[in-house]
Amino acid sequence: MLKRIRKWILIISIPLATALSFGFVDSYFELSKNLDVFATLLRELNTYYVDDIKPGELIKKGIDEMLNTLDPYTEFYAESDIEDYRMMVTGQYGGIGCLIRQKGDYVMVGEPYEGFPAQKAGLMSGDIISEIDGKPIKGKTTADVSKLLKGQANTSVKVLVERGGNKKTFEVTLVREEIKIKNVPYYGVVGDGSVGYIKLTGFTENAAKEVKTAFQELKGKNNIQSLIFDLRDNGGGLLKESVDIVNTFVSKDQEIVQQKGKVKEMNRTHKALYAPVDTSMPIIILTNKNSASASEIVSGSLQDLDRGVVLGQRTFGKGLVQQTIQLSYGTQMKVTTAKYYTPSGRCIQELDYIHKSTSGKAEHIPDSLIREFKTKNGRSVYDGSGIYPDITLEPRQYALITATIVAKNYIFDYATKYRLSRASIPASKDFALTEDEYKDFLQFLSDKTYEYTTKSEKSFEELKKNAESEKYFDSMKAEYDTLKSKIAANKKEDISKYKAEIKDLLEEEIASRYFYQRGRLESSLRDDNELKESIRVIHDEQLYKSILSGKGQYKVIGKPGETQAKANTEEEEGVIDEPVIPESKDKKPADAPKKKGG
């Protein structure tokens, strides 16, 4: 292996040295010199280190750490990871079709995908997986189990399942299929029936086709007069799909996005290549802080072209483009090759990964370098800070007690119990827990622990420490104890105080047990304040036109110096942005889905 590396160094260094300018010669000399040093180091390490080493693991670790110094999106994929990478790009894989999640030493079914082997075989959310093909899986992670459940289509896998907590098990044999994860898990009509709604969760292959099909059906069958396009929590994906989605709503030959990088031959201007479906229907695009990458191309382009109103929160701010490069021995690298620019000419990349702080963290683009650009109608927009919405709304915030109950899996577990006791429920848009059923949930919680510490309690502990250190505490102890007991009493009322939001999450989780992902989404729309505001705005023709024409306060969209929503520690007392899910969440924009599936 070391001989091949040294030989490769000679092969690339000689022609490059003669073909490139002297500046590049110096660069490639540094490259070849350091490759030689690395190869020599590895050879001597392999020879002299006191214990046997694994060169492959060392090199993989070295590659990963090297790429981490660049940006979070440049990644190396070993040959064993290629299938997972293919799934992230295409949304397809061979398996049984379900999400899985950790529960103690075991892995359980999180949610079956409707219409695929797990659901067709009768597996349900909450089922504990005990064995796979006769092998116990106690102690294994979701990643371990995911690999065991995946495989070539038309091959079989036996799964031993425990259901209902009674330790009774049953075995199912599933025939794997080619699983295709939908980019559009739900679409329908909202409000008075004249407003269409499309939820887009990814930008894998055929995302644009799914959006176009949904839009055409809503126009043809439902005769919608306006559209709400939901990109919230969509981490992005393929640039081509984002261009084709914008093409659905703008005229042919319209410039949508440019990509510019170091290699000039790879620079591109992406235009609408096809006839649009509709260029005049009012559109509202919903975004939040997790809308990233391809989501920002769609929202930013439609905003720059004054084709739709963006509503919600400022987006993530990822203006970088990655391409996949084939390497030797079946490996691949996803590398950042360019930045993208929306039709106004702005790049919305927020973090500077080249000029990092002394601690190694990427820095925000300074306000002094943020520039102004103009939309088609002359509205002011800015680069370097994601996509600011035309109408900014505060995100829904959840109480600490709600987040704790979710994190402890109590809502998930109660929904499992509920599903086992009832064969059916009304349609998800109509389903609501009765008072008796909510009381049953409270009874379910009665022997559970869900401790959490409020900001008031933290402040009181800090007050006590400071007062003790300054010798004031003895004189104020009585008042301190009284206030602390009042806080504790109020805290006990949280389960009643935040009943509405807890009940909403319960109903969404239960709806998913009968109607899967589309049921969860449909249930969540009933109490979606951002959706309600979108419907209000889209029905107000004068307001909608005023926004796009830049009248009054809508002349300037976002200003340098404005920041994203406050961090959780700075939020209103006792609330957070979203319930904490008990699985780890990768906050890096996922240019593809990253959920563990089987």
pLDDT digits 0-9 by tens, 276-303:
999 999 999 999 999 999 999 999 999 9
CB 587 within 8 A of CB 411: no
What whole-number distance in Å separates Cα of residue 315 and Cα of residue 346? 14
User: In terms of pLDDT, which residue wins out, 561 or 365?
Assistant: 365
C-alpha dihedral, 145 to 150 to 155 to 157, nearest 10°? 20
Cα 59 vs. chain centroid, distance in angstroms?
30
Choose the catalytic residue: 71, 244, 304, 577.
304
pLDDT in tens, 1-30: 444 444 444 444 444 444 444 455 677 888
The runs of H, that is alpha helices, within 51-190 are 55-68, 82-90, 117-120, 142-149
Please determine, for residue 89, whether its predicted confidence score (pLDDT) is greater than 90. Answer: no
Mean pLDDT score, 541-561 = 92
Q: Which of 147, 212, 289, 318 is catalytic?
A: 318
Please report the DSSP string for 161-173 in residue order.
EE-TTS--EEEEE
Question: What pLDDT is stored for residue 412 in this prediction?
Answer: 98
3 state DSSP class of 391? strand
The three-point CA angle 241-112-144 to 5° equals: 90
498-536 pLDDT, tens digit each = 999 999 999 999 999 999 999 999 999 999 999 999 999
Q: What pTM value is reported for the model? A: 0.86
pLDDT in tens, 31-47: 999 999 999 999 999 99
Q: Name the nearest CA neighbour of 577 among 394, 401, 404, 405.
A: 394
Q: Output DSSP code: residue 203.
A: B
Contacts of 492 (CB under 8 A, 6+ apart): none
Contact assessment for residue 335 and residue 323, using Cβ atoms and an 8 Å cutoff: yes
So what's the pLDDT on residue 581? 39
Pick 481 or 305 by higher pLDDT.
305
- 293: annotated active-site residue: yes
**Banded model confidence at residue 598, pLDDT cuts 50, 70, 90:** low
Please state the length of the chain: 598
The answer to whether residue 485 is catalytic is no
Q: DSSP code of 429?
A: T
Cβ atoms within 10 Å of 423's Cβ, excluding its own: 7
Q: Which of 32, 146, 242, 293 is catalytic?
A: 293
* Distance (Å, whole) CA 297 – CA 238: 11
- What pairs with residue 173 in β-bridges? 158
Q: Closest Cα to residue 377, out of 290, 302, 472, 475?
A: 302
Distance (Å) of CA 591 to CA 338, 535, 542, 558, 578: 15, 29, 37, 25, 22
Euclidean distance between CA atoms 186 and 200, whole angstroms: 8
Cβ contact 122:171 at 8 Å:
no
Q: Compute the distance between CA of residue 248 and CA of residue 277 in angstroms, rounded to an integer.
A: 5
Whether residue 508 contacts residue 527, with contact meaning beta carbons closer than 8 Å, is answered with: no
Helix (H) / strand (E) element for 530: namely helix 529-539
The helix, strand and coil proportions of the chain, stated in percent and rounded to the nearest 5, come to 40, 20, 35
Give the three-class secondary structure for 315: coil
CA distance linking residue 511 with residue 463, whole number of Å: 45
pLDDT at 356: 83
Q: What's the number of CA atoms in the CB half-sphere (13 Å) around residue 76?
A: 16
Over residues 72-99, the mean pLDDT reads 91
Q: Report the helix count and the strand count for the chain, using DSSP H and E.
A: 18, 25
pLDDT value at residue 8:
44
Query: Exposed, middle or buried, 85 (CB in 10 Å: 0-12/13-18/19+)?
Result: middle
Average pLDDT over residues 421-426: 97
Looking at the predicted structure, is the pLDDT value of residue 566 above 60?
Answer: no
Q: Is residue 523 within 8 Å of residue 506, measured between CB atoms?
A: no
Q: Other C-beta atoms within 10 Å of 57: how many?
A: 9
318 flagged as catalytic: yes
